[in-house]
Chains A and B, each alone.
Chain A
Amino acid sequence: MTLLEVCSLELTYPGTTGKVLRGASLAVERGGCMALLGPSGSGKSSLLRAIAGFETPGAGDVRVGDRSVTSLPPHRRPVSLVFQRPRLFPHLTVLDNVALSLEAQGSRRRAARSDAMRFLELVSATELASRRPATLSGGQEQRVALARALAARPEVLLLDEPFSGLDPVARDEMHALLRELRALVEPTLLMVTHDRSEAAAVADVAAVLLEGRIVQTGKLDDLLARPGSATLHRFLGGANVVRGAFDGRAHRSALGTLPVDAGATALPHGEYDLLLRQEALSLADPYSTMPDTVTGVVIENTRPGGAPRTIVDVGGVHLHIDRDYGQAEPAVGAQVDVVIPMAARWLVAADDQVTTAVVPPLHGESATQSIMRPMAQ
């Protein structure tokens, strides 16, 4: 059941002419967690601020449950926002920070302090109760900020890149904590992030915001495998975009003629970009008998983000292929075969126009190339 629903939200900041949000719409299920992905300046934080009531939208509606909260001030909305900076109150102890949240809901001071301890327990931060925010590490501060936000007992918890300032270890700990919290108290979460791995670690579904519009929603794996445009593919970390022509059966490009899923045969003939996730490609010995291969020459071995990757020149196209850890590094200049599985081939219109689309499950009935038909029209 949908708990948070944002309908066609439009937002323009005073004194500016350009719209920050251009009809953004999304829905989050009760107890679910949606990751809101998007490049810097796409309007992610503005959307969260509009949901929390800090910005007044020019049009559209924000609904929590069955009621509209668009006209309510921030303190009367059943949502809490955890900012990128934890914003703990510096003059109060950790316990009082959390207790204040409960007092704001009407609890008496003594009861609030007692209940606050339970929320600190929830985030494994009871030992911090008597400390001042200035003495906490970044991870500890965010734990307390989470406890404080949960103590306000919001129906929807909004997280605005809360872990982006943390080191990788602390960030992993916070992801684990968030998963535990989800299992324990089942909060409904909408989390802004620009980190795909964070979205994968925490969220059930993801939405991509580009230029103030939600352009795609769905499970993250589905978004990665079948993005709506080459731009979206690149934003989601995809490294391979190959321009070519589709003739009803196969995509013809510098890679050669690659047959495409039967579902795509309904696509009109024309110019298309073939999108290939580097994780879906693999290396094989040259002249191997494996199907779905193209032959090329290794031009570079790199480690973007720590993962081993080989770049292979195939007819002038530089294909990026992620290797498994431990897999032997091919020599630069060596001839190799690149395996391009049929399931990894995804076509999008070459005009790079993104239309709003919900990506169905990858293995569902409609998980075929036919989803792209509206985009090619």
Chain B
Amino acid sequence: MTLHTMPVTRRQQVSTSPRDRRRHLVSLLVAALLLLPITPLVAWSFAEQWTFPAIVPQAWGWPEQVWNAGTVAAFATSFVLATFVACAATMLGAMAGLGLRRAPRAVSTAASILLLAAAAAPPFALAMGATVGSLQLGVAGPPAVAMVLVVLALPYTTFVMRAAFAGYDESLEEQGRTLGMTSWMVLRWIRIPLLLPSVATAALLAFIVGWSDYIVTVLLGGGDLITLPLLIAGAASGTGNEQSLAFLGMLAIAPPLMMTTLAFGLARRYLR
């Protein structure tokens, strides 16, 4: 066996150049910065007693006071609301994104400025405006909350989907057609798989808008809609609720983290 025909082992393939080592170091640093705020949250969630100046909790325990039917119901309500917002806003964002992609340049630029302004404006101001608008339309309660949240998520989903359509190579569909694919095959085998990572990203952003909302739910929910952020706000307003607050915070982090993992998984699967 000559040198040129020798198989390369996996160990040999792992690069250990100084540049790669620096890259790994930066990755670790970023991961540490992201995980650092979560670490005390995890510790507090299961800390029955943790007083200054102890570095770790003095006593550990399950947060029984918040692990009840009310919390589960709030979690479920938040999840349903956020999922609805994600689905509706992504669908509308995809349509708007496609429209902007095909619109004349001037129209597309004007729409982009409007969307950016909406995304950059203070959330409270937007929420107040949308809330007043929906009340004037006579829509209130959970449907109104869902509707306003979809509107608030729309700039994000539209931006993501517009970028997705701009980067989408329509000539691949032409290639599919000349290989004998029907429109349905082209949709199933080419368009959907190629747009899926962007759709997942847009859905993730819309999900987070719906999942983390407090203002709109308070203003329009009329007390009928109890979501996880409302429970967190309640726990945060009292004293001595650190464990409950931390545990609810942990619950609030879980679904967006799972969605993020899913979106990245799809991106890795399809965008290599």
Specify which chain B residues have a CB less than 8 angstroms from the CB of A90 in the assembled complex: 194, 271-272
Annotate A100-124 by CB proximity to B: 1 below 8 A, 0 otherwise. Answer: 1101110000000000000000000
Does the CB pair B272–A132 fall under 8 Å? Answer: yes
Is B29 interfacial (CB 8 A cutoff)?
no
Q: Known contacts A91-B270, A91-B271; is A83 also within 8 Å of B179 by CB? A: no
Does the CB pair A79–B194 fall under 8 Å? Answer: no
Is A287 interfacial (CB 8 A cutoff)?
no
Q: Known contacts A91-B270, A132-B272, A134-B272; is A54 also within 8 Å of B174 by CB? A: yes
Does the CB pair B272–A89 fall under 8 Å? Answer: no
- Measured CB to CB, the nearest residue on chain A to B194 is A91
- Measured CB to CB, the nearest residue on chain A to B190 is A89
Chain A: minimal CB distance from B153 (Å)? 27
Is A375 interfacial (CB 8 A cutoff)?
no
Specify which chain A residues have a CB less than 8 angstroms from the CB of B271 in the assembled complex: 90-91
Complex Cα–Cα for A74 and B186 (A) = 12
Option from A53, A75, A83 in Cβ contact (under 8 Å) with B181: A75
Option from B171, B182, B269 in Cβ contact (under 8 Å) with A75: B182
Is A373 interfacial (CB 8 A cutoff)?
no
Does the CB pair B178–A52 fall under 8 Å? Answer: yes
Annotate B174-201 by CB proximity to A: 1 below 8 A, 0 otherwise. Answer: 1111111110010001100110000000
Is A260 interfacial (CB 8 A cutoff)?
no
Chain A: minimal CB distance from B181 (Å)? 5
Specify which chain B residues have a CB less than 8 angstroms from the CB of A152 in the assembled complex: 178-180
Question: In the complex, how many residue pairs between chain A and chain B have their CB atoms under 8 Å apart?
Answer: 67
Complex Cα–Cα for A100 and B177 (A) = 12
Q: Known contacts A100-B189, A132-B272; is A89 also within 8 Å of B172 by CB? A: yes
Which residues of A in the span 161-200 have a Cβ within 8 Å of any Cβ on B?
A: none
Chain A: minimal CB distance from B79 (Å)? 30
Does the CB pair B179–A100 fall under 8 Å? Answer: yes
Which residues of B in the span 184-226 have a Cβ within 8 Å of any Cβ on A?
A: 185, 189-190, 193-194
Is A64 interfacial (CB 8 A cutoff)?
no
Q: Known contacts A90-B194, A91-B193, A104-B185; is A80 also within 8 Å of B178 by CB? A: yes
Which residues of A in the span 228-266 have a Cβ within 8 Å of any Cβ on B?
A: none
Complex Cα–Cα for A87 and B170 (A) = 10
Does the CB pair A101–B179 fall under 8 Å? Answer: yes
Q: Known contacts A100-B189, A132-B272, A134-B272; is A87 also within 8 Å of B181 by CB? A: no
Is A81 interfacial (CB 8 A cutoff)?
yes
Chain A: minimal CB distance from B180 (Å)? 4
Which residues of B in the span 111-126 have a Cβ within 8 Å of any Cβ on A?
A: none
Is A219 interfacial (CB 8 A cutoff)?
no
- Measured CB to CB, the nearest residue on chain A to B182 is A75
Which residues of B in the span 55-74 have a Cβ within 8 Å of any Cβ on A?
A: none
Specify which chain B residues have a CB less than 8 angstroms from the CB of A91 in the assembled complex: 193-194, 269-271
Which residues of A in the span 131-160 have a Cβ within 8 Å of any Cβ on B?
A: 132, 134, 148-149, 151-152
Specify which chain B residues have a CB less than 8 angstroms from the CB of A81 in the assembled complex: 178
Specify which chain A residues have a CB less than 8 angstroms from the CB of B171 in the assembled complex: 83, 85, 87
Chain A: minimal CB distance from B249 (Å)? 37
Annotate A71-100 by CB proximity to B: 1 below 8 A, 0 otherwise. Answer: 001111001110101010111000000001
Specify which chain A residues have a CB less than 8 angstroms from the CB of B272 in the assembled complex: 90, 132, 134
Option from A54, A75, A83, A89 in Cβ contact (under 8 Å) with B180: A75
Complex Cα–Cα for A330 and B269 (A) = 64
Annotate A282-295 by CB proximity to B: 1 below 8 A, 0 otherwise. Answer: 00000000000000
Annotate A274-306 by CB proximity to B: 1 below 8 A, 0 otherwise. Answer: 000000000000000000000000000000000
Does the CB pair B178–A74 fall under 8 Å? Answer: yes
Annotate A38-67 by CB proximity to B: 1 below 8 A, 0 otherwise. Answer: 000000000000001110000000000000
Chain A: minimal CB distance from B62 (Å)? 45
Complex Cα–Cα for A90 and B176 (A) = 13
Specify which chain A residues have a CB less than 8 angstroms from the CB of B182 in the assembled complex: 75, 104
Specify which chain A residues have a CB less than 8 angstroms from the CB of B180 in the assembled complex: 75-76, 80, 101, 104-105, 152
Does the CB pair B179–A79 fall under 8 Å? Answer: no
- Measured CB to CB, the nearest residue on chain B to A52 is B178
Q: Known contacts A89-B172, A104-B185; is A75 also within 8 Å of B193 by CB? A: no
Complex Cα–Cα for A83 and B173 (A) = 13
Chain A: minimal CB distance from B15 (Å)? 16
Specify which chain A residues have a CB less than 8 angstroms from the CB of B270 in the assembled complex: 91
Chain A: minimal CB distance from B164 (Å)? 14
Specify which chain A residues have a CB less than 8 angstroms from the CB of B179 in the assembled complex: 75, 80, 100-101, 104, 148-149, 151-152
Annotate B144-163 by CB proximity to A: 1 below 8 A, 0 otherwise. Answer: 00000000000000000000
Chain A: minimal CB distance from B195 (Å)? 10
Residue of A85, A91, A134, A149 contacting most chain B CB atoms (<10 Å) = A91
Chain B: minimal CB distance from A122 (Å)? 16
Complex Cα–Cα for A89 and B190 (A) = 7
Specify which chain A residues have a CB less than 8 angstroms from the CB of B185 in the assembled complex: 104
Does the CB pair B177–A75 fall under 8 Å? Answer: yes
Complex Cα–Cα for A90 and B169 (A) = 10
Specify which chain B residues have a CB less than 8 angstroms from the CB of A103 in the assembled complex: 189
Chain B positions near chain A (C-beta within 8 angstroms): 169, 171-172, 174-182, 185, 189-190, 193-194, 269-272
Q: What are 19 A-B residue pairs whose CB atoms fall within 8 Å in the complex? A: A52-B178, A53-B177, A53-B178, A54-B174, A73-B177, A74-B177, A75-B182, A81-B178, A85-B171, A87-B172, A87-B175, A89-B176, A91-B270, A100-B176, A100-B181, A104-B179, A104-B185, A105-B180, A152-B179
Closest 10 pairs (CB-CB, A-B): A87-B175, A74-B177, A104-B180, A81-B178, A91-B270, A104-B181, A101-B179, A152-B179, A75-B177, A91-B193
Chain A positions near chain B (C-beta within 8 angstroms): 52-54, 73-76, 79-81, 83, 85, 87, 89-91, 100-101, 103-105, 132, 134, 148-149, 151-152
